[in-house]
């Protein structure tokens, strides 16, 4: 076993083993860091186990154009990232990039959405191309849509993946790359020292030369201990999945996707319910009613599972990426859309952390300092 | 092979794949299938592996059958009824376009 797996001293401690922490671990271990990943137990809040699995580009970054480019960049890294993970672990991710659709049920909604796309393109011409489709053109792509659908938007870069397989493959790849995974080791506190950090965990104390926070919602509590800030809050999302049915939906959509195994995922709510990750039938009924308006055939399908998970949301919904200004290397990496951004987190941020070569200038738009004034 | 250990007060008649069978009032469809000598009654749409009663309490969705024309119903949770039609062996459903 590598020394980092057993000793109480380690090189790089990553706090949190959600999809964000595991992507960082994959990249950092690949770039030569000796990584120890500290995680909670099975009852933790984990957006990474309850998400919708879209590798989604369209509509991203309307309020922060650099985010549009960052998202498209990750989306473009994804095919190579998926192939690498599959080759490395022998597991299949069912990553597919057939282009995605976001339908609209009324004209005003469609106009408003598309004017956002146009504003974004004026500010950032390199943002992904998004096309507006009227009902006739949309029907060519999705003949199954119901009479209430007025049109939609299309983006060729949109993709999806089996996100549980992604999560599993990231864990396996991190293990193969020599990273040590420690569950039931919630980090209670972190104290900067002259040459590293002292971490008090549920499983005892340890020291790390450098630390990367990827603890999802708990980043809000941990970041200030490192002189950082990550004011993230939970936003609940409820999702349902149908029984497995014959392939009927080729394209991933905002709120719909058919998985590789045949189940149709239907989403989702955006609720402010604090840390309550429960479900309620009113919301489920609303989601189901909307789904049947978009695809009347879905009324025949039986729902076999439904769940809720908590998104990790910053005040403006965009990521927080930051290196602490002084002292030994400490980072915080947190975002919504951790599936979409997994490729960039692994390849760009994980590598940067391993080499202590943080691209401060490129990542300036994602600094939490944007919340200090305003 | 399943065996009945208590005699039900009343019997009802139903069909399993067009064969007429009797079951006790209050039995589940799973009990009726087991008593009819079936212990695996469909193949999973993902791997083709055989499936039948597994958890017996509504959690695993292994026991799916078509009941009165409605596919993918849980045999372990559905009580039998007089005249019920149970069909086994369904694979992945096709969602028919609405006319
Ligand atoms: C309903 C829903 C749908 C979504 N759909 C999509 C989608 O389609 N596409 C997409 O890209 N994204 C989607 N997301 C977002 C995506 O799931 C999240 O961005 C991502 O999972 C966040 O990962 P994370 O690792 O930051 O957080 P989490 O998954 O919450 O993981 C945090 C981890 O840190 C651990 N931890 C917390 N505190 C500590 C501590 N003190 N010490 C040690 N460990 C700690 C936790 O145990 C956990 O394992 C969706 C989210 C939801 C809820
Ligand atoms: S046997 Fe498990 S749901 Fe019926």
From CA A176, how far away is CA A36, in angstroms rounded? 13
Segment A116-135, tens digit of pLDDT: 999 999 999 999 999 999 99
Q: What is the pLDDT of residue A5?
A: 41
**Cβ contact A243–B93 (<8 Å):** yes
Ligand 1 surroundings by CB, under 6 angstroms: A 15-21, 38-40, 44-48, 50-54, 56, 186-187, 214-216, 218, 237, 239, 268, 309-312, 334-340
Indicate yes or no: CB of B72 within 8 angstroms of CB of A304. Answer: yes
CB A156 within 8 A of CB A170: no
* Sequence spans of domains, chain B: 11-87
Contact state of A300 with B64 under an 8 Å Cβ cutoff: no
Mean pLDDT, chain A, as a whole number? Answer: 95
| Residue A6 predicted with pLDDT over 50 | no
Q: Which residue of A has its CA nearest to B93?
A: A245
Asked if B90 reaches chain A (Cβ–Cβ under 8 Å), the answer is: no
Report pLDDT digits (tens) over A16-30: 999 999 999 999 999
For A320-331, the pLDDT digits (tens) are: 999 999 899 999
Tens of pLDDT, residue by residue over A349-367, are: 999 999 999 999 999 999 9
What pLDDT digit, counting tens, does each position of A262-281 carry? Answer: 999 999 999 999 999 999 99
Average pLDDT over residues A333-337: 97
Q: How sure is the predictor about B98, in pLDDT bands with cuts at 50, 70 and 90?
A: low
pLDDT at B25 over 50: yes
Please check the confidence at residue A195 and state whether its pLDDT lies above 50. yes
Q: Is the model more confident about B72 or about B68?
A: B68
**Whether the predicted pLDDT of A3 surpasses 50:** no
Closest ligand (CA of B60)? 2
Residue from A18, A213, A256 to probe ligand 1 pocket by mutation (most atoms less than 8 Å from CB):
A18
* Ligand 2: centre distance to CA B64 (Å): 8
Shortest CA gap A146–chain B (Å) = 9
Asked if B48 has any chain A CB less than 8 Å from its own CB, the reply is no
Interface A-B, measured as beta-carbon pairs within 8 A, has a size of 42
Nearest CA in chain A to B70: A300
| pLDDT exceeds cutoff 60 at A338 | yes
Strand partners, A312: A234
Q: A130 burial class (0-12, 13-18, 19+ CB within 10 angstroms)? A: buried
Complex ipTM more than 0.85, yes or no: no
Average the pLDDT over A244-261 and give the result.
94
How crowded is residue A327: how many other Cβ atoms within 10 Å of its Cβ?
15
pLDDT at A326: 86
Q: What is the mean pLDDT of residues A330-359?
A: 98
Give the gyration radius of chain A's Cα atoms. Answer: 21
What distances in angstroms separate CA A73 from CA A67, A98, A151, B84, one per listed residue? 10, 17, 27, 56
Q: In terms of pTM, does the model score above 0.90? A: yes
B71 touches chain A (CB under 8 A): yes
Residue A331 near residue A322 (C-beta atoms within 8 A): yes
Taking the CA of B61 as reference, the closest ligand is 2
Q: Of how many residues is chain B composed? A: 99
Instruction: Determine what percent of chain A is predicted with pLDDT higher than 90.
Output: 92
Interface test with A, best of B59, B93, B97, B99 (most A CBs within 10 A): B93
Nearest to B45 among A262, A297, A300 (CB): A262
Distance CA A279, CA A111 (A): 32
Q: Which residues of B fall within a CB distance of 8 Å from A262? A: 45-46, 92
- What is the phi/psi pair of residue A19, to 5°? -65, -25
- To 10 degrees, the CA torsion angle through A27, A14, A217, A340? 10
Grade residue A373 by pLDDT with cuts at 50, 70 and 90: low
- Mean pLDDT confidence for A294-315: 94
> Any residues with Cβ below 6 Å from ligand 2, and which?
B 53-56, 58-63, 74, 76
Nearest residue in A to B98, CA atom: A297
CA of B51 to the centre of ligand 2 (A): 10
Per-residue pLDDT at B55 exceeds 60: yes
Asked if A207 and A10 touch (Cβ cutoff 8 Å), the reply is: yes
Report the alpha-carbon distance of residue A61 to residue A117 in Å, rounded. 9
Task: Decide if pLDDT at A7 tops 80.
Answer: no
Q: Specify whether the CB–CB gap between B16 and B86 falls below 8 A.
A: yes
d(CA A301, CA B75): 17
Residues of B in contact with A302 (CB under 8 A): 71-73
Q: How far is A29 from A37, CA to CA, in rounded Å?
A: 11
pLDDT at residue A1, rounded to an integer:
36
Q: Which atom, in ligand 1's list, is nearest to the CA of A202? A: 42
Candidate CATH numbers 3.10.290.10, 3.40.50.620, 3.20.20.30, 3.10.20.440; the one for domain B11-87: 3.10.20.440
The alpha-carbon gap from A254 to the nearest alpha carbon of chain B, in Å, equals: 21
B61 contacts on A by Cβ (under 8 Å):
243, 304
Q: Tell me if B93 and A301 make a contact (CB, 8 A cut-off).
A: yes
Name the band, by pLDDT with cuts 50, 70 and 90, for residue B1.
confident
Q: Out of B46, B92, B97, name the one closest to residue A245 (CB).
A: B92
Segment A195-199 mean pLDDT: 96
pLDDT at position A304, please?
87
Name the pLDDT band for B47 (thresholds 50, 70, 90).
confident
């Amino acid at each position: 076993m590598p020394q980092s797996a057993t000793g109480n001293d380690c090189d790089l401690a990553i706090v949190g083993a959600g999809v964000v922490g595991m992507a960082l671990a994959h990249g950092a271990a690949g770039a030569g860091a000796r990584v120890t990943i500290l995680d909670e137990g099975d009852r933790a809040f984990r957006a990474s186990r309850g998400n919708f699995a879209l590798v989604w580009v369209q509509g991203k970054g309307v309020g922060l154009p650099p985010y549009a480019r960052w998202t498209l960049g990750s989306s473009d890294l994804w095919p190579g990232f998926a192939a690498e993970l599959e080759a490395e672990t022998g597991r299949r991710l069912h990553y597919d990039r057939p282009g995605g659709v976001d339908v609209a049920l009324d004209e005003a909604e469609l106009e408003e959405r598309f004017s956002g796309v146009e504003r974004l393109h004026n500010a950032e011409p390199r943002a992904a191309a998004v096309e507006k489709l009227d009902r006739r053109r949309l029907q060519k792509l999705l003949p199954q849509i119901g009479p209430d659908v007025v049109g939609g938007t299309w983006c060729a870069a949109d993709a999806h993946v089996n996100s549980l397989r992604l999560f599993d493959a990231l864990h396996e790849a991190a293990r193969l790359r020599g990273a040590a995974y420690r569950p039931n080791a919630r980090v209670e506190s972190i104290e900067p020292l002259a040459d590293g950090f002292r971490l008090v965990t549920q499983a005892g104390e340890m020291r790390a030369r450098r630390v990367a926070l990827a603890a999802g919602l708990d980043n809000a509590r941990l970041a200030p201990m490192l002189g950082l800030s990550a004011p993230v809050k939970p936003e609940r999302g409820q999702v349902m999945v149908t029984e497995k049915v014959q392939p009927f939906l080729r394209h991933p959509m905002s709120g719909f996707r058919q998985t590789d195994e045949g189940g149709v995922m239907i989403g989702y709510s955006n609720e402010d319910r604090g840390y309550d990750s429960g479900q309620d039938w009113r919301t489920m009924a609303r989601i189901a009613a909307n789904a049947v308006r978009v695809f009347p055939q879905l009324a025949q399908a039986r729902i076999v599972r439904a769940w809720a998970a908590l998104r990790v949301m910053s005040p403006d919904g965009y990521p927080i990426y930051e290196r602490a200004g002084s002292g030994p290397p400490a980072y915080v990496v947190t975002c919504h859309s951790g599936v979409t951004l997994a490729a960039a987190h692994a390849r760009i941020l994980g590598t940067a952390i391993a080499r202590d070569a943080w691209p401060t200038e490129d990542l300036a738009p994602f600094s939490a300092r944007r919340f200090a004034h305003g | 092979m399943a065996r009945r250990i208590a005699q039900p007060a009343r019997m009802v008649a139903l069909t399993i794949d067009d064969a007429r069978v009797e079951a006790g009032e209050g039995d589940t469809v799973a009990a009726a299938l087991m008593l009819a000598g079936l212990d695996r009654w469909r193949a999973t749409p993902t791997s083709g592996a055989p499936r039948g009663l597994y958890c017996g309490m509504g959690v695993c969705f292994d026991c799916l059958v078509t009941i009165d024309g409605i596919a993918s119903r849980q045999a372990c949770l559905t009580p039998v009824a007089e005249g019920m039609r149970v069909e086994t062996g369904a694979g992945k459903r096709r969602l028919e376009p609405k006319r």
